Amino acid sequence: MYRTHNCGELRMANVGEEVTLSGWIQGSRDLGFMMYTDLRDRYGITQLIFTEENTTKEVFESARTLGREYVVKVKGTVLERKSKNPNIPTGDIEIDVNDLEILNASKVPPFTIEDDTDGGDELRMKYRYLDLRRKPVQENLIFRSRVAVETRSYLSQAGFIEVETPVLIKSTPEGARDFVVPSRMNKGQFYALPQSPQTFKQILMVGGFDKYFQLVKCFRDEDLRADRQPEFTQIDCEMSFVTQEEILNTFEGLTRYLFKTCKGLDLPEFPRMTYDEAMEKYGSDKPDTRFGMEFHNLNGVAKGKGFPVFDSAELVAGINAEGQADNYSNKDIKKLTEWMQRPQIGAKGLVYVKFNTDGSIKSSVGKFYSDDDLKAWGEEFGAKPGDMLLILSGEEEKTRKQLNELRLEMGERMGLRNPQEFKPLWVVDFPLLEWDEDTERFHAMHHPFTSPKKEDVERMMNGDHETMKALRADAYDLVINGVEIGGGSIRIHDRDLQSRNFDLLGFTREEAMAQFGFLLGAFEYGAPPHGGLAFGFDRLCAVMMGQNTIRDFIAFPKNNQGRDMMIDAPSPIHDEQLDELCLGIHLPKEA
């Protein structure tokens, strides 16, 4: 037996007991006649002491050879410590070691196994087994495991059945790019890895499962900018005979339950906001509502006064950075303007109006507008002395997007985005279709199976092109702190309506049948009304822990080139494997 206790559980009540512990050497202090050593495992750290009196010379000498990360088993007696350490739960006791066995040695790790390590990203990914020993990494993954347990507990209690849907499915050229898997038994054909189990969960509803859920791996072969991973996990759900209201209540309930059980936090009822309102007030369908700083439209007061930039703009709008007038020098504003002009944001310029605490007004467009003009702007915002307006103009959609970036940046700078404060929001009433000017076709705003609102069905079946742009869907997103946790919709369950949607999305009848014939077929055999949603599980965990990157909540993440640095994958395969699959590789010639 390797241990009677783990390294986190011994207390004063155990004093006098003979115990066996196993773990890793965190570090040692050698005082010559005695030695202190910290022994670590997942559960905690326990202090060992080796003294010339109580151990054999052999054990004492052996203890002296222990390096960091050596794995040992020790036997000894639990003692009360003379100088206690109130910072750790085992800080009242120590182990007087009388026997030591070295289970495995360790080379010196390439970075320190501490909360704050000196290892760079690539190095830590290569030696992931060492990074996984660090407490913050373990805590994140243990938290994730906990959230998974509680998610399943809540949904099972609510009558949901977890059903596993297949990983080897069919490629559909819609949406993001599929990972494909060549079939050996069906030569020249491919499976695809699911981007989501969407059609399968709908089939389960047609199959009468009523309430389905799954924590499920999904896959997207996208270019991995920012915080994306080629494989990620969803909390995926679907319900039959259900209205949007019931779905929102169920998953608001889940979210509040998770915050309560995993964080000890009581969240109030989640507010709801329409897509239109979110775009109007925040220029984003996932607004961070931890702070206000809403957009105000200045078209009425700023246009027609002779400033050509505003006069020619479709939209003039801005935000009020409260109390910032004194904090921003001309140089600061110049820097902020340059930040906004970077290609990622692409603003042409940035107009400011400072309402100084001394009552004076200063603005970059002061020569076009009188103080009275600028005061009228301030009234739109309810600006007080000390406030600073930041104003953008241009094409409406672009301007809102730019202003959204500016708002988030100012919120960040002003400390309004506290990662330990949680502001959830349901965004509802999304448009059904999105017109793409470039390709001159409609895209599904959510996905091709989303139902228009009941009152819009008739218009969708018979309306003209412009009518289609105005259709609203029973589609909804859950946003927390400006991060989209997930979303869903009521689905179409009528074959004709689904066919009409495929038509609008530019599918030929043949394409629709080839890709989704099974679903259209299923709708002919008594499909119930149904709807559901999916949460991004990695992202939910990150947001709940007040962190930004999902990579820190995945045990073995891939880097931005889609590589697993530890196992060195992907990698070439043998010619025999290619031959069995009837595949050849045709690399492009180097220029």
Residue type at position 495: R
Taking a C-beta distance cutoff of 8 angstroms, is the pair 452, 472 a contact?
Answer: yes
Part of the chain binding a second copy (CB under 8 A), chosen from 158-166, 336-344, 369-377, 477-485? 158-166
Q: Does 156 bind a second copy (CB under 8 A)?
A: yes
Part of the chain binding a second copy (CB under 8 A), chosen from 30-38, 157-165, 326-334, 476-484? 157-165
Taking a C-beta distance cutoff of 8 angstroms, is the pair 409, 301 a contact?
Answer: no
Q: Does 396 bind a second copy (CB under 8 A)?
A: no
- Kindly identify the residues of this chain, within the stretch 462-501, that bind a second copy according to CB under 8 A: 493-494
Name the nearest CA neighbour of 100 among 81, 84, 79, 76: 76
Q: Does 169 bind a second copy (CB under 8 A)?
A: yes
The pair of three-digit structure tokens given for residue 487, joined into one six-digit string:
């979303």
Taking a C-beta distance cutoff of 8 angstroms, is the pair 33, 52 a contact?
Answer: yes
- Kindly identify the residues of this chain, within the stretch 93-112, that bind a second copy according to CB under 8 A: 103-107, 109
Of 180, 333, 414, 457, the residue at the interface with a second copy (CB under 8 A) is 180
**Minimal distance, residue 219 CB to a second copy, in Å:** 7
Is the CB of 5 or the CB of 423 nearer to a second copy? 5
- Kindly identify the residues of this chain, within the stretch 293-322, that bind a second copy according to CB under 8 A: none
**Minimal distance, residue 546 CB to a second copy, in Å:** 21
**Minimal distance, residue 496 CB to a second copy, in Å:** 11
CA 379 – CA 54 distance, rounded (Å): 80
CA 206 – CA 240 distance, rounded (Å): 9
3 state DSSP class of 206: helix
CA 350 – CA 393 distance, rounded (Å): 8
Beta strand pairing status for 388-394 and 441-444? unpaired
Please state the separation of Cα 69 from the chain's center in Å: 33
Spatial neighbors of 91 by CB under 8 A, at least 6 apart, are 81, 84, 85
**Minimal distance, residue 483 CB to a second copy, in Å:** 20
Q: Does 439 bind a second copy (CB under 8 A)?
A: no
Binding residues with a second copy: total (CB under 8 A): 125
Part of the chain binding a second copy (CB under 8 A), chosen from 173-181, 264-272, 336-344, 418-426? 173-181
Of 10, 14, 19, 22, the residue at the interface with a second copy (CB under 8 A) is 22
How many Cβ atoms sit within 10 Å of the Cβ of residue 218? Answer: 20
| Site of tokens 């076009």 | 368
Q: Does 145 bind a second copy (CB under 8 A)?
A: yes
Q: Does 9 bind a second copy (CB under 8 A)?
A: no
Taking a C-beta distance cutoff of 8 angstroms, is the pair 480, 425 a contact?
Answer: yes
Q: Does 81 bind a second copy (CB under 8 A)?
A: no
Of 11, 42, 305, 509, the residue at the interface with a second copy (CB under 8 A) is 42
Of 75, 152, 398, 413, the residue at the interface with a second copy (CB under 8 A) is 152
- Kindly identify the residues of this chain, within the stretch 510-529, that bind a second copy according to CB under 8 A: 517-518, 521-529
